[in-house]
């Protein structure tokens, strides 16, 4: 598609954005460019690429034609100016923070996050000299109070894993903007089909492309998407983007690349030095998955609402966290933040506690017991004993992963079959 193309709908863009017939063969599907390096036209061409004076392919740790198509497609669907794909969702989180942080700096984050993210922000980032302050993002005054002179970003999930909590992105973005720092939103669980964080004031979006974007449980990957709207030179807080870069003879990314400064930094510095590269075969699988994203998300949402409603009315169940239910305290946020639905992820508490949860997981036949989400298949996990096991009891509760709760990732199977599977497993778990 050319830059002068008309405005296309989501269903068209998820198939065509970034993709063009292969110029060498005419192949319509994006080829897997399984190559390490690329031949330069001449010495002058090579020098221009390495000096960031010309855009092109150098080495597949930095850029690859298959990955480049995926980057353009994700950026287009999110409404951003550019994206950098990497090896996993966790890699994407580090990549997102890397241009912003420095020893002694901190990030203010939501307490409602995936357990692995809580661990990464609680422990791993300390090895870089960074720190994270965890806050209940429903308490806007607490979010404001947590931001200090060393804060360089605010981080949350649009639809939080595991409980399906929906963040008031507009309110949080307003706080971040007032502090002169970017809001980073993990949009993995919602996908750009259900939520577009840039339209609510976010500056950056991260994805675990492993989940709904790929949708088939085959490969891992991550992406960092840039809105292109944040002015990195408005203060001295972000010298990596606004000050001279020694490795490129004093080049200033903001001054040179404008709205694409963050994206170019992610490739020229982030991927160059951290090496968290997405392989082209993974990009290929994700591109194929995205082609059916809207169709799958519609079914995920429809099935999730049907099953959550059934569970809420079952006497063996204590509570259900699905935001699409009128009983949810976040029901009113669905229309505002995720107008196409509350997603396919939620938790429910079983009468009988921890032991009943274990029995339920073991008794299910259609649901797969795996540490993943966003698959076409329905999945279940007991978060407190697995994905959130490293957290304290208080952290588990704050994240929505209490010991008496299981997480469901509702797939696209027949909803009646899924209800039947849950029914027989609940009977065994609570007998």
pLDDT at 115: 85
CATH 3.40.640.10 domain residues, the chain: 10-289
Q: Which residues contact 154 (CB under 8 A, 6 or more apart)?
A: 107, 108, 109, 143, 147, 172, 175, 176, 179, 181, 182, 183, 184
Q: What does DSSP assign to residue 314?
A: -
Mean pLDDT by 10 residues, the chain (431 residues): 69 96 91 96 95 94 97 98 98 98 98 92 97 97 98 98 94 98 98 98 98 97 98 98 96 97 97 97 98 98 98 96 97 97 96 91 96 96 78 75 90 98 96 86
pLDDT attached to residue 162:
87
- Which pLDDT score is estimated for 385? 78
- Quick one: pLDDT at residue 6? 64
Q: Which tokens hold the place of 192?
A: 């750009």
Compute how many other C-beta atoms are within 10 angstroms of the C-beta atom of residue 138: 16
* pLDDT tens column, 254-292: 999 999 999 999 999 999 999 999 999 999 999 999 999
Please tell me the distance from the alpha carbon of residue 151 to that of residue 155, in angstroms, as a whole number.
11
Strands 82-86 and 317-320: what pairing?
unpaired
Sheet with 405-409, side-by-side order of all strands: 317-320, 345-350, 405-409, 379-381, 368-369
* pLDDT (tens digit per residue) in 2-59: 455 568 999 999 999 999 998 889 999 999 999 999 999 999 999 999 999 999 999 9
| Topology annotation, domain 10-289 | 3.40.640
pLDDT in the model for residue 2: 46
DSSP codes, 98-158: TTT--TT-EEEEES-S-HHHHHHHHTGGGGGT-EEEEE-TT-HHHHHHH--TTEEEEEEES
Cis preceding-peptide flag for 162 (omega within 30 of 0): yes
Q: Write out the residue limits of the CATH 3.90.1150.10 domain(s) in the chain.
A: 293-430
> Alpha helix (H) ranges present in 219-330?
239-242, 253-257, 261-265, 272-274, 280-290, 293-312
Residue 159: strand pairing partners: 166
What's the fold here for domain 293-430?
3.90.1150
Cβ atoms of 115 and 390 within 8 Å: the answer is: yes
Report yes or no: 154 and 181 within 8 Å, Cβ to Cβ.
yes
């Amino acid at each position: 598609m050319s830059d002068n193309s008309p405005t296309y709908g989501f269903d068209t863009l998820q198939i065509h954005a970034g993709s063009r017939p292969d110029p060498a063969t005419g192949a319509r599907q994006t080829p897997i460019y399984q190559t390490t390096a690329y031949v330069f036209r001449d010495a002058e061409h090579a020098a221009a690429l390495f000096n960031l004076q010309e855009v092109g392919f150098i080495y597949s740790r930095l850029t690859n034609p298959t990955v480049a198509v995926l980057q353009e497609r994700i950026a287009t669907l999110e409404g951003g100016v550019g994206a950098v794909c990497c090896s996993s969702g966790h890699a994407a989180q580090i990549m997102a923070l890397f241009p912003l942080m420095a020893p002694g700096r901190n990030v203010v984050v939501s307490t409602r996050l995936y357990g692995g993210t809580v661990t990464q922000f609680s422990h791993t980032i300390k090895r870089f000299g960074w720190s994270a302050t965890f806050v209940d993002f429903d308490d806007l005054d607490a979010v404001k109070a947590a931001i200090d002179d060393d804060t360089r970003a605010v981080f949350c999930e649009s639809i939080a894993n595991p409980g399906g909590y929906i963040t008031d992105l507009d309110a949080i973005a307003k706080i971040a903007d007032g502090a002169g720092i970017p809001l980073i939103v993990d949009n993995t669980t919602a996908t750009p089909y259900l939520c577009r964080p840039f339209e609510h004031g976010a500056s950056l979006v991260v994805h675990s492309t492993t989940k709904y974007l790929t949708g088939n449980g085959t490969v891992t990957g991550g992406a960092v998407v840039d809105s292109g709207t944040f002015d990195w030179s408005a203060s001295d807080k972000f010298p990596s983007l606004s000050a001279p870069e020694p490795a490129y003879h004093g080049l200033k990314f903001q001054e040179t690349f404008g709205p694409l400064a963050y994206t170019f930094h992610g490739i020229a510095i982030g991927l160059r030095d951290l090496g968290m590269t997405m392989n082209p075969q993974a990009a290929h699988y994700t591109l194929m998955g995205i082609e059916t994203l809207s169709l799958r998300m519609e079914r995920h949402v429809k099935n999730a609402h049907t099953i959550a409603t059934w569970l809420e009315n079952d006497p063996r169940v204590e509570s259900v966290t699905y935001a699409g239910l009128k009983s949810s305290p976040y029901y009113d946020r669905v229309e505002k933040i995720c107008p196409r639905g509350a997603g396919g992820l939620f938790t429910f508490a079983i009468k009988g506690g921890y032991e009943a949860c274990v029995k339920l997981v073991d008794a299910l036949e259609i649901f797969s017991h795996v540490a993943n989400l966003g698959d076409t298949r329905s999945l279940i996990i007991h978060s407190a004993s697995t994905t959130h096991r490293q957290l304290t009891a208080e952290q588990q509760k704050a994240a929505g992963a209490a010991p008496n709760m299981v997480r469901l990732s509702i797939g696209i199977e027949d909803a009646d079959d899924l209800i039947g599977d849950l029914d027989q497993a609940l009977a065994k778990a609570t007998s």
